[in-house]
Structure 1
Amino acid sequence: MPSTHAESRTRPEFDNLPTQTANLPNGVELCYVEEGRGLPLVFIHGLLGDWRSWQPQWDAFVARGYRCISYSRRYSFPNVNEIASPNHSALVDADDLAGLLDKLGIRAAILIGTSYGAFTALALAVHHPQRVMAMVATEAPMMKYANFSKEGAALRVEFERRTEAAAQAFRQGSDAQAVRMMTDAINGHESSSANTGHALQRRIANVNAMRALMLSTDPFPLLSPQQLGGIAAPTLLVTGGQTQPIHEAVFRNVCAAMPQARVSRVQGAGHGVHRDKPQEFNAIALEFLQQEIRPATRAIPTEEKR
């Protein structure tokens, strides 16, 4: 096993890890990478990310004895799945994730998701509860929860005004401009570094994921408070201390619907906590899993021994 000092470093060649492809029964192909031995742990990226988004976490979690899997959701780089319908959402992504777990011989996994990936994790826990061992979910953009408070409803109107401007740029064929505008709408003042150079190119490579949501009839379907409150898997909800007001409003109302969940706020971080404050994020996530999962599941067999 690698040294625990791996928690504080990242691997320059992470982007060059050998990728594999899972061919799901529904015809969808999902690219993923895998490393490590132990309890299966799946990382789920956000809207304009892909499997490479979890570089700051990879070595830390592999070193702690997890079988780590990072995959690209249906329309993210380097997948080439066609947008088959105008009904894409986190519910579809959750079904894809269940299919990926089947392909990998995993009955249940730990999920770590950010933004739309956190939404996907919560959707899996609601609709396929037996597949989720535990979750760490950062600021799932369940936008309907903004309407559960007067302040949140007003913030959602402003957020949708900004995202519609991005959609208009997208419809005019200005993919790069649309990505910049959507990044600004999601991250606000935190977005400048994500809108330049290599970070911007990565986001543009994932523009098809943005296209699928822009075309969707309901990109943010409601997981009801009753459904969220019924999630039995140990859950840690994470937010950034400097996140956008719209995310704060949604997060607050999601927390109210999930009194069974733990909550952690990381100061100095915006919407992308795992990216902004990776060491802090890794520490709180690993501690949570150590307390909630490792003692109880150490002897649980998996379908495939690694």
Structure 2
Amino acid sequence: MPVRKAFSFPIFAVIGLALVTESAVADELKRVSINGYELAYVEQGQGEPVVFVHGGLQDYRMWRAQLPKFASRYRAIAYSRRNNYPNAVSPEGTPDGAADVHGEDLAALANALGFSKIRVVAHSSGAHAALFFAAKHPDMIVSLAVNEPPALGMLSGLPNRAEILKEFAGLGAAREALKAGDVQRGIPMFVDVVGGPGAYERRSDADKKMNLDNVSSYQADAIKLPRPIFTCEMAKAITAPTLLSDAERSPRLFHHVLDQLEDCLPNRERVEIPTSSHTVTVDNPNAYEQAVLAFFARH
């Protein structure tokens, strides 16, 4: 039977951490070359490595509040994926949704930093990339925590697939706006489809700036569709303990994807983060951090 757990920790304010200036964070930046490309990363703590993988329209800064919490127990590393700030970016570059490419970058990053095995915490399209990484490099994973990956290939064959996908129909208009260079309209449209109505307006000024800084990889998505498909057979190759998390208020599409992953992954647990929409690290960071840290302590 699938293991489900519920956490009901109160929302924890992290506004002070979220508003850390870029100049303060920039002093901590390190860089590593992988596959002919340079990735920026930050790290805190010592010991067993935990690598954090951000979602779309984000970068290493999305994990600012989480790194100190994990650094008390682990060597916590957050990096910016290919074609995301402050790395070299271009609308003609690697798409955000190129989960196979980003997954191989994660493997190369771990190797470049001298790690034979890592724990991974990943969000949204970064979680999709982490699934590709774990399926292709199962021996490199100690344990894996993925929050709401848009692994739409998992919905293939479902009789109600078309109905499920209607929930994300608005992404087409967002892609067209971004493809045309209208980022002021396209970014809020994208965020509101993925996070629910009003999600963009609820974001802090720092997060809105981060979204703007990372628009190139999503513009590349609008140009270079379709993207690779993650399948049930691939999920079966991931033998490491895997925590699947979804948010109480997120679009149901993510819940349907996790339902299928839950059926296919051989070693998994699942948790729903209460009073939260898609970006759980902002909406209910305390509950999310507690869930992941407790899972890692068990595995």
Tell me if both proteins adopt one fold, taking TM over 0.5 as the criterion.
yes
Of 99-108 and 9-18, the range deviating more from structure 2 = 9-18
Q: Is the 8 A contact 2:191 2:199 kept in 1?
A: yes
Q: Distance in 1 between matches of 2:125 and 2:95?
A: 17
Of 125-134 and 248-257, the range deviating more from structure 2 = 248-257
SS of corresponding position for 1:279:
helix
Q: Distance in 2 between matches of 1:151 and 1:14?
A: 46
Q: Is the 8 A contact 1:28 1:81 kept in 2?
A: no
Find the counterpart in structure 1 of residue 201 from structure 2. 193
Tell me how far 1:261 sits from its aligned partner: 0.6
Aligned-residue sequence identity (percent) comes to 27
| 196 and 39 in structure 1: CA distance in 2 versus 1, 3 angstrom threshold | closer
Counterpart of 1:274, as a letter, is T
Q: Quick one: which of 40, 44, 68 aligns to 1:59?
A: 68
| 226 and 277 in structure 1: CA distance in 2 versus 1, 3 angstrom threshold | same
Find the counterpart in structure 1 of residue 44 from structure 2. 35
Deviations 1:138-174 (A, max 9, x none): 0110112234433343121441x31110111122220
Q: Distance in 1 between matches of 2:13 and 2:96?
A: 41
Q: Distance in 2 between matches of 1:119 and 1:73?
A: 13
Number of paired residues? Answer: 282
Find the counterpart in structure 2 of residue 211 from structure 1. 219
Counterpart of 1:103, as a letter, is A
Q: Distance in 2 between matches of 1:123 and 1:28?
A: 19
Structure 2 unmatched ranges of 5 or more: 1-11
Structure 1 unmatched ranges of 5 or more: 1-6, 293-306
Counterpart of 1:175, as a letter, is V
Give the TM-score normalised by structure 1: 0.85
| More relative contact order, 1 or 2 (CA 8 Å, 6+ apart) | 2
Q: Distance in 1 between matches of 2:52 and 2:95?
A: 26
Q: Distance in 1 between matches of 2:176 and 2:31?
A: 34
Deviations 1:1-54 (A, max 9, x none): xxxxxx986646475231011111x22111100111010000000011100001
SS of corresponding position for 1:122:
helix
Q: Distance in 2 between matches of 1:245 and 1:13?
A: 33
Give the TM-score normalised by structure 2: 0.87
Find the counterpart in structure 2 of residue 115 from structure 1. 124
Root-mean-square deviation (Å):
2.2
Q: Are 1:238 and 2:245 matched, yes or no?
A: yes
Q: Quick one: which of 29, 32, 47 aligns to 1:19?
A: 29
Tell me how far 1:128 sits from its aligned partner: 1.4
SS of corresponding position for 1:201:
helix
Find the counterpart in structure 2 of residue 176 from structure 1. 184
Find the counterpart in structure 2 of residue 252 from structure 1. 259
| 81 and 28 in structure 1: CA distance in 2 versus 1, 3 angstrom threshold | farther
Deviations 1:261-287 (A, max 9, x none): 101111111111222111111111111
